[in-house]
């Protein structure tokens, strides 16, 4: 059996009175992530981890932020498309471990729904999806609520 590990990172600006989608969940907050798609920082980091592990480049290569096809699209669709690319190469997902870094809102109450959304999108067990969150202790652009960051690692396998 062959296994590979991937790492993903994503960051998005936060803007007042903008939708805030993380892990396919719409969060109530006075600010939201801004980007070409729905700016779901968590799913973007997971896509990059998966694509990188399979040596399939990154999310920007496959879903360009200049392509109107992807404008405002749900990142759940981008995740499904990324998994399809892996499947075409014979890869299966073992697990995902992700970390969000933002000051607010609190993420912990939303983690089960995020895990459910991801598990359904990529057809793996919720038990194979770990999501954690931390603040930046009010330091830097994250601490000033100017941006949100996500990191993800994954294990993929074949044969």
**pLDDT tens, 111-153?**
999 999 999 999 999 999 999 999 999 999 999 999 999 999 9
Residue 69 pLDDT? 85
Cβ 40 vs Cβ 22: under 8 Å = yes
**Residue 31 pLDDT exceeds 80:** yes
Q: How confident is the model at residue 54 (pLDDT cuts 50, 70, 90)?
A: very high
- DSSP class of residue 110 equals G
Cα–Cα distance measured from residue 56 to residue 36, given in angstroms and rounded to the nearest whole number: 21
Mean predicted confidence (pLDDT) in 78-99:
98
Q: What is the mean pLDDT of residues 43-69?
A: 95
**Mean confidence (pLDDT) of the chain:** 96
Domain that holds residue 97: 2-158
| Nearby residues of 6 by Cβ (< 8 Å), 6 or more positions away | 48, 49, 50, 51, 52, 53, 54, 153, 154, 156
* 98 closest CA partner among 151, 54, 49: 151
pLDDT of residue 57: 97
- pLDDT of res. 68: 87
Q: How far apart are CA 154 and CA 129, in angstroms?
A: 9
Cα radius of gyration rounded to whole Å, the chain:
15
Query: In the structure, what pLDDT confidence band is assigned to residue 46 with cuts at 50, 70 and 90?
Result: very high
- Smallest CA-to-CA distance from 131 within 117, 111, 113, 109 is with 111
What is the reported pLDDT for 78?
A: 97
Stated pTM of the model: 0.97
**Domain harbouring 35, CATH code:** 3.30.1330.50
Q: How many domains does the chain have?
A: 1
* DSSP assignment string, 47-79: HHHHHHHTT---HHHHS-TT-GGGTT--HHHHH
């Amino acid at each position: 059996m062959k296994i590979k590990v991937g790492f993903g990172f994503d960051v998005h600006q936060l803007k007042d009175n903008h939708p805030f989608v993380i892990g396919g969940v719409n969060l109530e907050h006075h600010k939201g992530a801004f980007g070409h798609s729905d700016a779901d920082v968590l799913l973007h980091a997971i896509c990059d981890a998966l694509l990188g592990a399979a040596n399939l480049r990154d999310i920007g290569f496959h879903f360009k932020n200049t392509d109107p096809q992807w404008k405002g699209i749900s990142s759940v669709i981008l995740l499904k498309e990324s998994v399809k690319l892996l499947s075409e190469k014979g890869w299966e997902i073992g697990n995902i471990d992700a970390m969000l870094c933002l000051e607010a809102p609190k993420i912990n109450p939303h983690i089960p729904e995020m895990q459910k959304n991801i598990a359904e999108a990529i057809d793996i067990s919720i038990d194979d999806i770990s999501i954690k969150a931390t603040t930046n202790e009010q330091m830097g652009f994250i601490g000033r609520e100017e941006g949100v960051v996500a990191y993800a690692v994954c294990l993929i396998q074949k044969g």
